[in-house]
Amino acid sequence: MEFANTKTILGGSDCLYDRQSELKAFDDTKAGVKGLIDAGVKNLPRIFVHQQLNVDESVTPDDSHLSIPIIDLQGIDMESSLRAKAVEKIRYASEKWGFFQLVNHGIPVNVLDEMIDGIRKFNEQEIEIKKKYYSRDPTKKVTFVSNFDLYRLKAVTWKDTLSCAMFPNPPEKEELPEVCRDIVIDYSKQVMNLGLTLFELLSEALGLNSSHLKDMGCADGLLLWGHYSPPCPEPKQTMASSSHCDSNFITILLGDQMGGLQVLHQNQWVDLPPMHGGLIVNIGDFLQLISNDKFKSVNHRVLAKNEGPRISVACFMRSRKDQSLRLYGPIKELLSKENPPIYKEVSFDDYLAYYMSKGLDGTSSLPHFKFSRT
Ligand SMILES: O=C(O)CCC(=O)C(=O)O
Ligand SMILES: [Fe+2]
């Protein structure tokens, strides 16, 4: 693959290039960013260069004021005072941070480690096997792809992703890659169970009946994304994930020990330090919408590193795909004269169509669905 000598078109003072061809050349390799490293690429191809990156303007929390809340789920089913404490902390975290970290969540640490290792094995196996999964077909339950929105992005991000739609209709076992199929099945089941508990706690944190969010279908679907970001030759010029908000209800995120995830809090990028055995939860746009802005879907991003690989697994809890036309609006029980609905009703499909058409440009899609009040 040739990146350096691609046709250059000069227009005005801007140096444009045949970007589409370079994107396509990269996509056609079906080998992702790992394929570039394997091919010995020493400089960052320009499709990956992000303009005006402020990667040095981040803060590493050294005091509790700037560290993401940690929620301990130990004993919450046995003791009502522990549950009340967890619910209160979840409410605070969901309102103020849109993110929290979970400990004692019930998924054994060896399962977490195996999940990370499964994604490593998938990416580090023979390219010919990986290539068979490379696809941008949204109807497929299992795909491997670099940058699902490759052709819409201003700059490509430094990562490859294995995507598995695991609930409500999981793929046949044989459809999942052999090197990680057992752990993908086991891990996603355990995350689904944890997700159900979290939706109970989130419902209670909103002052609703425990089963409210589950009954609305928030936990019907689970999409698992395993990200793999190999060592990057020029990490300060690109990102492993650009600034974005997730579109779904909640995301349950597992990271390895490399770090790199940052969350935008009070206008500062705050590092989320890796925590072995812990999980991260973040609120997505749809939960912000149905909670009428009580809970916040917050921008986050992942820095590229010159070491690695960095591996993470994001499980997106969302409604069933076959019910993606169901309309969601602010929950009636949360509304009052003082708290009128901020958003119109919208289906997940329509929301996603707008979210995707906008590309991950770092701005929220939510304002587009607000009632205009004059
Ligand atoms: O890799 C990470 O830590 C974050 C991934 C993420 O934000 C996403 O997949 O939406
Ligand atoms: Fe995300």
For residue 187, the domain's CATH number is 2.60.120.330
Would you say residue 117 has pLDDT above 50? yes
Q: pLDDT-derived band of residue 152, with 50, 70 and 90 as boundaries? A: confident
Q: pLDDT-derived band of residue 13, with 50, 70 and 90 as boundaries? A: very low
The angle subtended at Cα 303 by Cα 72 and Cα 153, nearest 5°, is 115
Amino acid at 103: V
Q: pLDDT-derived band of residue 239, with 50, 70 and 90 as boundaries? A: very high
Asked if 240 and 229 count as a contact pair (C-beta separation under 8 A), the reply is yes
CA distances from 127 to 26, 34, 38, 174, 231 (A): 15, 10, 10, 19, 18
**Cis amide linkage into residue 309, ω under 30° from 0:** yes
Least reliable range by pLDDT among 46-60, 151-165, 173-187, 230-244? 46-60
Of the listed ligands, the closest to the CA of 245 is: 2
Of the listed ligands, the closest to the CA of 163 is: 1
Ligand 2 centre distance from Cα of residue 245 (Å): 6
- CA pair distance 251, 254, nearest whole angstrom: 10
The residue whose C-alpha atom lies closest to atom 10 belonging to ligand 1 is: 246
Note the pLDDT tens digit of each residue in 269-293: 999 999 999 999 999 999 999 999 9
- CA pair distance 194, 364, nearest whole angstrom: 27
Q: pLDDT-derived band of residue 63, with 50, 70 and 90 as boundaries? A: low
Average confidence (pLDDT) over 114-120:
98
What is the structure's pLDDT at 17? 76
Asked if 253 and 282 count as a contact pair (C-beta separation under 8 A), the reply is yes
Neighbours of ion ligand 2 (CB under 5 A): 246
3 occurs within a structural domain? no
Check pocket membership of 147 for ligand 1, CB cut-off 6 A: no
Ligand 2 centre distance from Cα of residue 69 (Å): 18
- CA pair distance 290, 286, nearest whole angstrom: 6
Return the best residue to mutate from 312, 315, 318 for the ligand 1 pocket (most ligand atoms within 8 A of CB).
312
Of the listed ligands, the closest to the CA of 297 is: 2
Q: Give which of 233, 249, 312, 313 is closest to 282, Cα–Cα.
A: 249
206 occurs within a structural domain? yes
In this prediction the ipTM stands at: 0.99
Q: Which pairing describes strands 268-271 and 58-59: parallel, antiparallel, or unpaired? A: parallel
What pTM was computed for the model? 0.94
The secondary structure of residue 293, as a DSSP letter, is T
Q: pLDDT-derived band of residue 154, with 50, 70 and 90 as boundaries? A: confident
42 occurs within a structural domain? no
Q: Ligand 1 atom closest to Cα of 161? A: 9
- CA pair distance 73, 104, nearest whole angstrom: 5
Q: pLDDT-derived band of residue 356, with 50, 70 and 90 as boundaries? A: confident
**Cis amide linkage into residue 168, ω under 30° from 0:** yes
Would you say residue 61 has pLDDT above 80? no
Note the pLDDT tens digit of each residue in 162-218: 999 999 999 999 999 999 999 999 999 999 999 999 999 999 999 999 999 999 999
Ligand 1 centre distance from Cα of residue 62 (Å): 23
Domain range for 351 is 57-369
Q: pLDDT-derived band of residue 51, with 50, 70 and 90 as boundaries? A: confident
Would you say residue 349 has pLDDT above 50? yes
287 occurs within a structural domain? yes
Asked if 166 and 223 count as a contact pair (C-beta separation under 8 A), the reply is yes
Q: Collapsing DSSP states into helix, strand and coil, what is residue 205?
A: helix
What is the structure's pLDDT at 372? 84
241 occurs within a structural domain? yes
Least reliable range by pLDDT among 5-19, 117-131, 189-203? 5-19
Greater confidence (1 vs 354) lies with 354
Amino acid at 296: K
Would you say residue 8 has pLDDT above 60? no
Average confidence (pLDDT) over 71-89:
97
Q: Which pairing describes strands 8-11 and 268-271: parallel, antiparallel, or unpaired? A: unpaired
Would you say residue 326 has pLDDT above 70? yes
CB-based contacts of 78, cutoff 8 Å, min separation 6: none
Structural domains in the chain (count): 1
251 occurs within a structural domain? yes
**In this structure, how many other beta carbons lie within 10 angstroms of the beta carbon of residue 127?**
15
**In this structure, how many other beta carbons lie within 10 angstroms of the beta carbon of residue 282?**
27
- CA pair distance 301, 269, nearest whole angstrom: 9
88 occurs within a structural domain? yes
Q: Give which of 197, 222, 221 is closest to 211, Cα–Cα.
A: 197
Report the chain's mean pLDDT, rounded to a whole number: 92
Would you say residue 259 has pLDDT above 90? yes
What is the structure's pLDDT at 15? 54
Q: Give which of 260, 245, 125 is closest to 181, Cα–Cα.
A: 125
- Residue 325's φ and ψ, nearest 5 degrees, are -95, -5
184 occurs within a structural domain? yes
The residue whose C-alpha atom lies closest to atom 1 belonging to ligand 1 is: 312
